[in-house]
Structure 1
Amino acid sequence: MSIEQATYKQRRRKASEFESRSAYLEHELSIMDLKRWRVNLPFRDFGIEIEDWVPAVAATIGKVVMVAAMVAAFASQFGLSQEFVAENTRFELLIAGVIFVVFFSAILNPLSNLAGTHGPMIPLIPLIAAAGGHPLALGIMVGLFGLILSATKGGSRLVKLTGEGVRGGLLIYLGAVGLIGQLSKFESWAISSAQDAVPFVVILTSIIIYAYLAKIEKRWLAIPLCSLIAGVVAFAMGVPFEFVTEPGLPNMNPFYWWGETTGWQLGWPQLEHYIAVIPFAILAVAMWSPDFLGHRVFQELNYPKSAKGTLMNVDDTMAVCSIRQIVGAGLGGGNLASSWGTYMIPAAIAKRPIPGGALLTGLLCVLTAVLGFPMDLAMWEPVLRVALLVGVFLPLLEAGMQMVKCSRNSQSAGICMFACALVNPVFGWALTMVLDNLGLIGNKERADSLSRTDKLIIPVAALIICVGSLALVGQLPGIPALL
């Protein structure tokens, strides 16, 4: 049997045979050939290493925080209690952990990233409610539009048509805005809690630790180590903390969640509810491509060139997110799905493929939901802010800067950031992709090599859909909602 025909299990070597841990992890990535929509088993098709715990912990923290924020946004619009938010967040952790993280991203298709939470949609929830939207109708429509985009392979096509300069600008903008936003929220919390000095001390400590980890090439340890030390420092400075959520299980009956006097207290959606959410669903799916692009870039930057069999498949990830959206909403969950950034980014930095950490993430999500009290720690302000800063936004900023290597790319990146700041990242990505592919900015040689379809038709169509969706829901500055 040739080396190419050997299985992953046959080609594995002990970590002690390599000069460094990084070399061993890169070898592991190079010998894997994960299969789409077929059963992949641990230790037969992929391994589980100590590094897999890092994205698992980061993903669980991010999941608790983002789902709670999204459900709370819905709850405030429909007059639901904080107890409802905690119960629905628990339910979503079980849905994600048992059905989708383990079954899809770990076993059935480990080339699809985990289905996380669509954070950019949270500010739009008041508009959705005001337009007469229904959470279940929104979830179903997002899932249907996502399946259409996946089936036509539109997601991967858009990723390929996004030049390096546009990618770099998008990542830099997302990273910089995220850093500033998290720091502002941390400082606002400190002022309201009379803990003014805590953010400075905690963030300064995190910067020093992160810099040292970068020097010794152990950045994959940033999330657990910085979060742990942030919690210890904050507690030592007098920030109060206690576990309050008790162990238990949420109600798992969809008829309870979609009852008229129980759960959401909204009943089942009618035709007018589906019509009302169409522009918001289109916008949610339009936001997927730049989001998914950013996550795949991290793999490309951190994996060896030979690791083709472990790279995230954008179209499959869209399919999984769409299925997860329809099933999750149908069961009663309040999450809107997207590619799971707090998993993929640390996993890529740690040089780990998707499935090993996915199994551990599923385990941690289930344990967190059942035990309850880990949710209190994940949502404690010092731990939460530091985890997001060092685990998501700082790596985004670094990755974007790595992609801007020449003046042509810097031109595209600068205009992309300018357009993002004008409206939002979806508008910035769509507009700059058109300008870049037409050769008006950036790499002219790349533009000349594109077909008419890739140069003009697809980018312009994407821009029209994005701008039209933004205009319908009132997201273009100074222009009233058309809906």
Structure 2
Amino acid sequence: MSDVKSSGYQRKHKSRQLFSSRADYLEHELQAMAPKRWRPNYPFRDYRFEWEDLVPATAATIGKIVMVAAIVAAFAAPLGLSDAFVIANVRFEMLIAAVFFVILFSGFLNPNANLAGTHGPLIPLIPLIVASGGHPMALGIMIGILGFILGITKGGSLLAKLTSNGVCGGLLLYLGFIGLMAQIKNLFSWANGFEMGYIAFVVILSVIILYAYLEHMQKRWLAIPLGSGLAAAIALALGAPFEFTTTPGMPNLNPAYWWGTDSGWQLGLPELSHFLAVAPFAVLAVAMWSPDFLGHRVFQQLNYPPKTDKVLMNIDDTMCVAASRQVVGSVLGGGNIASSWGTYIIPASIAKRPIPAGAVLTGILCIVAALWGYPMDLAVWPPVLSVALMVGVFIPLLEAGMQMTREGKTTQSAAIVIFSSVLVNPVFGWSLTVLLDNLGIIGCKERGKTLGHIGRWIVPGIVFLVLCLVMAAIGMFPGVPPFLPSFRGIA
């Protein structure tokens, strides 16, 4: 009979004093843990809190404010909604995420599911979604349903298995480089806006030196709090404008307010036409999940020690949680589009910490930020925002991509996925290169022979064709007009 008061983790856990270094202690903690899927996992019995958990929690909270604000603002601008609406909806979304999903699911019920974050790659498409007659609730419900189907059928893990190191590494390199360039550009645009462009240069140069030093000291998991703090201090010292404007308070929690015809989104409830309008975008959003989720799990594997498979992120479980969070958030009135939480899992992997303890702290910090209000102003201030994303997400993605493409013929697949991603987008690049790689046209020819017909060309071929049809329908191929009449003149 199992001992209710004692877990396998408690028996394997060892005191910090028994290890020669803190790094050895943290690695042993990862090896000792054995999280239970869809059953209660209790703090101090099944996992412990370490001060390193504050790093991904802080990074995730900053990233959450930033990314949800970007999503809601992208909806609000073409709908003519105010900045005050954006802030209020973001605060509401943070409470939904923290209470219902971050703490409850990733912290207690399934520590193998990464936190449900925000779907950043879909942000550029939101104006097109609104222009085509889309509705935020309709989009959220459709993404949630499709994502849940993919998760329970284990479609996400299947696609992950069919993606080679070369394809995944190339995808990480592309996403890391594009994201890094975008944040540098944004920071200079901000500084040039008040004719002090040199502030951006000094901030970025200082952060580069700091990051290099942290790499040397093997403390790069401190890059987000130290980098963001350094950026804020330098920007303020050089005279950059900043003020707190968001005051403490509770956002409106009534779904009827958010989905009223003269309040909140001012759209009312969605109709059938709204669901038809968002269908292609929902398919595309869920298709983007597989490479995104795969990249996060691979990043864990690259940073965790051996014998830690039990604490790795489960792709299918994460999809189910993200899909559930999407439906609940959208029905209640939120504007977030869910995905795997990159600004949490990447710093947590670097800090060699498992998911649950940091998830609980993330939920607490999100609640504090949403109710207090003032931290939201600081988190979206360009020096803090851009530096947090650069050192916490995009530079680590570049490093992971380089590490995955060092051996064998992985560089062939990496080059093709980058090439095709530049041509259209990462979804096209990923799906095309997986097909070519598994057919043996590029990369390791022996690998394709071990996959069988289903893994070699049937599944990759179907995925590629479906995605191409969706992208062609809404006009995502450069120079090619959309074949659906409702999208002509919009794309």
Q: Shared fold by TM > 0.5?
A: yes
> How many matched pairs?
481
**1:214 counterpart residue number:** 215
358-367 vs 400-409, which moves further: 400-409
Check if 1:394 corresponds to 2:387: no
For residues 44-68 of structure 1, what are the alpha-carbon distances to aligned partners after superposition, in whole Å with 9 as ceiling and x for unaligned? Answer: 1111111100000000101001111
Matches within 5 A, 1:96-245: 96-245=97-246
Q: CA deviation at 1:6?
A: 6.3
**1:373 counterpart residue number:** 374
Matches within 5 A, 1:36-435: 36-435=37-436
Q: CA deviation at 1:243?
A: 1.4
For residues 28-87 of structure 1, what are the alpha-carbon distances to aligned partners after superposition, in whole Å with 9 as ceiling and x for unaligned? Answer: 000101011111111111111111000000001010011111111111111111111010
Distance in structure 1 (CA, Å) of the matches to 2:319 and 2:209: 37
**2:488 counterpart residue number:** none
Unaligned runs of 5+ in 2: 485-491
For residues 136-184 of structure 1, what are the alpha-carbon distances to aligned partners after superposition, in whole Å with 9 as ceiling and x for unaligned? Answer: 0110000000011111110000001100100110000100111111101
Q: CA deviation at 1:407?
A: 4.5
Q: CA deviation at 1:482?
A: 2.2
Q: CA deviation at 1:406?
A: 2.4
Distance in structure 2 (CA, Å) of the matches to 1:379 and 1:193: 17
8 Å CA contact retained: 2:7, 2:45: no
Aligned AA (2:221)? W
Q: CA deviation at 1:466?
A: 1.6
**1:446 counterpart residue number:** 447
Distance in structure 2 (CA, Å) of the matches to 1:402 and 1:294: 13
SS in 1 for 2:266: coil
For residues 279-314 of structure 1, what are the alpha-carbon distances to aligned partners after superposition, in whole Å with 9 as ceiling and x for unaligned? Answer: 110000000001101100111001112001100000
Distance in structure 1 (CA, Å) of the matches to 2:18 and 2:233: 37
Identity of aligned residues (%): 61
Distance of aligned partners of 1:6 and 1:335 in 2 relative to their CA distance in 1, 3 Å threshold: closer
**2:489 counterpart residue number:** none
Q: CA deviation at 1:382?
A: 0.7
Distance in structure 1 (CA, Å) of the matches to 2:72 and 2:7: 47
SS in 2 for 1:41: coil
For residues 84-106 of structure 1, what are the alpha-carbon distances to aligned partners after superposition, in whole Å with 9 as ceiling and x for unaligned? Answer: 10100100010011111000111
Aligned AA (2:173)? I
Distance in structure 2 (CA, Å) of the matches to 1:457 and 1:342: 34
8 Å CA contact retained: 2:74, 2:123: yes
- TM-score of the two chains, using structure 1 as the length reference: 0.98
Distance in structure 2 (CA, Å) of the matches to 1:47 and 1:451: 43
Distance in structure 2 (CA, Å) of the matches to 1:340 and 1:201: 30
8 Å CA contact retained: 2:166, 2:414: yes
- TM-score of the two chains, using structure 2 as the length reference: 0.97
Matches within 5 A, 1:5-20: 7-20=8-21
Aligned AA (1:387)? A
SS in 2 for 1:312: coil
Distance in structure 2 (CA, Å) of the matches to 1:375 and 1:164: 38
Distance in structure 2 (CA, Å) of the matches to 1:321 and 1:156: 15
Distance in structure 1 (CA, Å) of the matches to 2:95 and 2:83: 19
Distance in structure 2 (CA, Å) of the matches to 1:6 and 1:250: 40
Distance in structure 1 (CA, Å) of the matches to 2:305 and 2:7: 20
For residues 194-246 of structure 1, what are the alpha-carbon distances to aligned partners after superposition, in whole Å with 9 as ceiling and x for unaligned? Answer: 12111111111111111111111111001001111111111111112221110
Aligned AA (2:132)? A
Q: CA deviation at 1:318?
A: 0.4
